[in-house]
């Protein structure tokens, strides 16, 4: 008998937490990774005499050797440039090339706007590129390495695959890693009735999802040339990338394209807009760029609209996957609950303090001093929780958190969004009924944050807003140099353990192996593997439902 909250609790918790529930799918779009060091240890080093040129189905590629230990191939096209009348459409085949194509520089990021958390700006639609990092060196004619395909996060609006240095995973885990771009914002997720009529059964708003599938089909055709086994492919992603993993698990058109899945910081039972709902938003975007009326003229207008205009018209809350077309006909939650999904072994988890990143960003800056002042604690909780405020205050003592703002962040991290712990427990429960699931929670309170609130431009006193294990804090443990000041020796030990778990799972479908603490397959919330530095408890089972007060929120929702 499971002790976690009942399924579908997410809807009541979201209603109860109105005002603290935050837009999930989030950011994790730090600047470009530092140059990869050669030889991170742990795995074999291949390729001292290996050629730099490989043959693919579309033509020859020349990559780059890094310290004679591994090879990186960047800027590999996996679909035709989605420009002109291919804008918004399913990805088309790439045009083969003659001669040897240089693959030592990444391709362009997809169109996006820079922001506080995203340093990249791009208006280049020719962006459907991927990158391959391989330790195999090709000298031994290997084609048996597990393959891991990384889908980046960024609120479905920002990011690119080249930001993630996959050398640690490749070398220590002896795997081939592929990082991919996909269309973002309106170019990947704009739904509109006239566009749907033009696109056909896939439905509009499906381009981003189908781009990811096109990349997986490229892997199926070509990864053997890089030492990888096309029969052993794991998709993994964080935030909006984890949302992508969840959507691919539910997509009929992704069937057979991968064998395992890792979803980091997004609940696989979160629901998306339907085609009708998304099309209503699409109509407002079309009107904003001057594409009015109906029929093919609207499609022509949208296909010709300037990139900056479409980016500017895209709602601030963004958009994500659209349910209703042939590529995603039903909500992932419903597909999983009914067993009609791509059932593969799954690693699924989150961070202990996910929403310390988003809570300050959801409050107007002029009001933040009020939310940081402990004297306003009771009033703010009364505004947010009404009659339940005293019970919430008792469960989340001000003395433990420092400020009302940090209390609200703790509540939001525990429940009320696609990132929250109770939402993840709900998803673990649903997933494990039909497939092997290993659940985790990253808990290192000293991890470098994606966005630092104790420095400019915020300057929050750390005592009033400790950020803890904030959203995206685990990424530098897998992808070195992503952001922050680097890892301490103790954090490096945790990173080594995490890489072994992730890559062993990719190889075998089970994260357990030599040299790492036992990770129990999920059966109830006490089986969640806590990932922390040794001085703070180390790596081992934790009851996240108890830590996140899930029973308390269940009772409160039913009161």
Residue at token pair 């429960």: 429
Three-class DSSP labels, 84-139: HHHCCCCCCCCCCCCCEEECCCCCCCCCECCCCCCCCCECCCCCCEEEEEECCCCC
The yes-or-no answer on residue 348 being catalytic is no
The active-site residue out of 152, 377, 424, 471 is 471
Closest to 475 (Cα-Cα) out of 300, 238, 316 = 238
CB 53 within 8 A of CB 181: no
- How far apart CA 474 and CA 479 sit, in angstroms, is 9
The number of C-alpha atoms within 13 Å of 341 and in the hemisphere containing its C-beta is 31
Coil, strand or helix: which one is 504? helix
Residues facing 354 on adjacent strands: none
- List, as own/partner pairs, every contact residues 334-339 make where C-beta atoms lie below 8 angstroms and the sequence separation is at least 24, other chains included: 335/249, 335/250, 336/249, 336/250, 336/268, 336/269, 336/430, 336/431, 336/434, 337/7, 337/269, 337/430, 339/433, 339/434
Q: Which two tokens stand for residue 230?
A: 């096309």
The active-site residue out of 74, 224, 238, 354 is 354
- How far apart CA 329 and CA 332 sit, in angstroms, is 9
CB 404 within 8 A of CB 377: yes
35 contact partners, CB below 8 Å, separation of at least 6: none
Closest to 518 (Cα-Cα) out of 496, 532, 536, 501 = 501
CB 16 within 8 A of CB 559: no
Cis bond before residue 129 (omega within 30° of 0)? no
DSSP 57: T
The yes-or-no answer on residue 432 being catalytic is no
- How far apart CA 303 and CA 292 sit, in angstroms, is 13
The yes-or-no answer on residue 239 being catalytic is yes
Which strands sit side by side in the sheet containing 260-264, from one edge to the other? 64-66, 70-77, 129-134, 176-180, 145-151, 228-238, 260-264, 346-351, 437-442, 528-531, 540-542
- How far apart CA 166 and CA 172 sit, in angstroms, is 10
The active-site residue out of 239, 243, 244, 267 is 239
Closest to 346 (Cα-Cα) out of 264, 424, 437, 421 = 437
Residues with active-site annotation: 239, 354, 471
């Amino acid at each position: 008998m499971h002790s976690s909250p009942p399924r579908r609790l997410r809807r009541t918790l979201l209603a109860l937490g109105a005002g603290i529930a935050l837009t999930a799918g989030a950011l994790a779009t730090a600047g470009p990774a530092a140059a990869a060091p050669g030889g991170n240890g742990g795995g074999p080093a291949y390729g001292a005499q290996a050629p730099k040129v490989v043959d693919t189905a579309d033509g020859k590629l020349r990559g780059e050797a890094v310290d004679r230990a591994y090879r990186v191939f960047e800027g590999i096209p996996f679909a035709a440039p989605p420009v002109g009348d291919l804008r918004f459409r399913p990805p088309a085949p790439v045009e083969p090339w003659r001669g040897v194509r240089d693959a030592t520089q990444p391709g362009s990021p997809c169109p996006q706007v820079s922001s506080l958390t995203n340093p990249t700006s791009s208006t280049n639609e020719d962006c459907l590129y991927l990158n391959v990092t391989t330790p195999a060196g090709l000298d031994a004619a290997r084609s048996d390495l597990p393959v891991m395909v990384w889908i980046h996060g960024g609120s479905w609006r920002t990011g690119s695959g080249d930001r993630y240095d996959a050398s640690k995973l490749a070398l220590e885990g002896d795997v081939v890693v592929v990082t991919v771009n996909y269309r973002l914002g309106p170019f990947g997720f704009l739904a509109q009735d006239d566009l749907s009529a033009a696109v056909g059964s896939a439905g509009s708003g499906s381009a981003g999802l189908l781009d990811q599938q096109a990349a997986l089909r490229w892997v199926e055709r070509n990864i053997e040339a890089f030492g990888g086994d096309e029969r052993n492919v794991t998709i993994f992603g964080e935030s909006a990338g984890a949302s992508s993993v969840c959507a691919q698990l539910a997509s009929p058109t992704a069937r057979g394209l991968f064998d395992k899945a890792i979803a980091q910081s997004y609940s696989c039972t979160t629901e998306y807009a339907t085609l009708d709902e998304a099309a209503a938003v699409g109509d407002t975007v079309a009107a904003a760029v001057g594409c009015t009326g109906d029929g093919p003229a609207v499609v022509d207008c949208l296909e010709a609209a300037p990139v900056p205009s479409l980016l500017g018209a895209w709602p601030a809350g963004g958009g994500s996957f659209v349910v209703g077309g042939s590529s995603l006909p039903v909500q992932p939650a419903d597909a999983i609950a009914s067993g009609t999904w791509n059932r593969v072994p799954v690693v699924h988890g989150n961070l202990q303090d996910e929403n310390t990143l988003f809570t300050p960003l959801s409050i107007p800056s002029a009001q933040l001093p009020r939310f940081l002042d402990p004297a306003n604690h009771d009033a703010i909780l009364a505004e947010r929780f009404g009659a339940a405020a005293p019970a919430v205050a008792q469960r989340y003592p001000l003395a433990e958190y420092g400020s009302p703002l940090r209390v609200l962040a703790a509540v939001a991290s525990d429940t009320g969004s696609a990132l929250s712990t109770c939402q993840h427990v709900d998803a673990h429960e649903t997933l494990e009924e039909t497939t092997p699931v290993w659940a985790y929670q990253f808990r290192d309170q000293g991890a470098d944050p994606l966005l630092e609130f104790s420095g400019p431009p915020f300057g929050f006193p750390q005592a009033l807003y400790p950020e803890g294990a904030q959203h995206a804090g685990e990424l530098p443990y897998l992808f070195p140099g992503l952001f922050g000041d680097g890892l301490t020796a103790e954090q490096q030990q945790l990173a080594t353990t995490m890489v072994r778990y992730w890559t062993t799972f990719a190889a075998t479908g089970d994260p357990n192996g030599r040299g790492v603490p036992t990770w129990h397959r999920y059966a109830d919330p006490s089986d969640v593997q806590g990932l922390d530095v040794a001085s703070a408890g180390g790596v081992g089972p934790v009851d996240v439902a108890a830590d996140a007060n899930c029973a308390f929120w269940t009772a409160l929702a039913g009161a």
